[in-house]
Amino acid sequence: MLLFRSEQHIDRWCNQWNRPRGGALTLIQGWKLAQLWYGDRLNPQWQPKTAVEAESVFQDVGLVGEFWKLTG
């Protein structure tokens, strides 16, 4: 997961690596995702998120669609 200065630089990177375009999100979405994903990591009772829980986090950040699916 990398940061790019523009859409053109993402396309250039994809060409260099011969990869199809993946998923993109804004830095604000990334920050919200990081807070939801890692905010409870020091809780002694922490458990890895299930696929359903992870999808719910993605949805909360506005990341929806086939690219973000983990279930069925």
Closest alpha carbon to 38 in 62, 30, 22: 30
Whichever of 34 and 60 has its CB closer to another protein, that residue is 34
SS3 65: coil
29-58 positions binding another protein, by CB under 8 A: 29-31, 33-35, 37-39, 41-42, 44-48, 54, 58
Report the distance separating Cα 58 and Cα 60, nearest Å. Answer: 5
Judged by the rule CB under 8 A, the positions of this chain that interact with another protein are 1-7, 9-10, 12-14, 16-17, 19, 21-31, 33-35, 37-39, 41-42, 44-48, 54, 58, 66-70
